[in-house]
Amino acid sequence: MGEISCASEPINGVLSRSSSSPPPSGYRKSCWYEEEIEENLRWCFALNSILHTGSTQYQEIALFDTKPFGKALVIDGKLQSAEVDEFIYHECLVHPPLLHHPNPKTVFIMGGGEGSTAREILKHRTVDKVVMCDIDEEVVEFCKEYLVVNTDAFNDPRLNVIINDARAELENRKEEKFDVIVGDLADPIEGGPCYKLYTKSFYESTVKPRLTQGGIFVTQAGPAGIFSHTEVYTCIYNTLRQVFKYVVPYAAHIPSYADTWGWVMASDSPLELSCEEMDLRIKQRVEGENKYLDGTTFSSVTTLNKVVRNALYDETHVYTEGTARFIYGHGKNDL
């Protein structure tokens, strides 16, 4: 898990020091959440309060009310989403595949327990069925209770919430296919519950056969920053290239993650949509207005910097259970 510490800090915020006694004149008491991003790099932010901490069968979970980012959901010591900027992550994950599909009606979500991915999918007028499959019932119930922004999504009759392993659920639905499958899984961390759902065998034997003709798969693919993209982003991209004909990587900066984040979209049908066509489909299909994503923005997030482009092109590693890569950190079952 990340760490929580309390300190006395000067009002101007220049210095901080540990203190268990009342702060001296000119200082204020503040609690901080600290997440270890790498061995020698930590990211911390001030807290208003700790709303919940606990442990499920699969994961450690916490909900904080933070000063810079509002409510923040943390699982296995990794920030999953924050109130003020989660729309960047979820709009980038959901809208590109649904807008590239000519008429998406059925969608399967792997993971997505907090409900934000379902919320964005259900904005699409064409969609008449969403299956959200998350392995951790306690996380889903916790998010239903605390993340009221997604209450309408959880109550939407088009949404069917299933508590199961996503691989098992897809394999059990042998006769059912989906127009879009969304991988909103926890990051592949050592000892975590999800890394096997980033493998070539899973994409090849489980995901691809459950897509309709022209169906699209999308997955979150971990950090994609100038230094962090080689952790898992490039090999997830290369792994999907072994399975699908057309693969599109893209990335956007998310302030609360303190990094650029990556997604990869894949299909056996061409993934081509101009800015103007995407904007028109948003207007025709999507209820309300996106905060972040439109045609121009998607053009921007698919234009990656030279370092990341070259790394994607040069990547040869294929993600398997025996050759898995992980982002920094450890899951509950590896502690």
Residues annotated catalytic, as ranges:
184
Query: What SS3 string covers 26-77?
Result: CEEEEEEEEEEEECCEEEEEEEEEEEEEEECCCCEEEEEEECCCEEEEEECC
> Tokens standing for 68?
């810079």
- CA–CA separation, 151 vs 131, rounded Å? 16
3-state secondary structure the chain: CCEEEEEEEECCCCCCEECCCCCCCCEEEEEEEEEEEECCEEEEEEEEEEEEEEECCCCEEEEEEECCCEEEEEECCEEEEECCCHHHHHHHHHHHHHHHCCCCCEEEEEECCCCHHHHHHCCECCCCEEEEEECCHHHHHHHHHHCHHHHHHHHCCCEEEEECCHHHHHHHCCCCCEEEEEEECCCCCECCCCHHHHCHHHHHHHHHHHEEEEEEEEEEEEECCCCCCCCCHHHHHHHHHCCCCEEEEEEEEEHHHCEEEEEEEEECCCCCCCHHHHHHHHHHHECCCCCCCCHHHHHHHCCCCHHHHHHHHHCCCCCCCCCCCCCCCECHHHC
Inter-CA distances, 285 with 98, 215, 277, 279, 290, Å: 10, 18, 12, 10, 12
Q: Can you say whether the dihedral through the CA atoms of 221, 132, 255, 42 is positive or negative?
A: negative
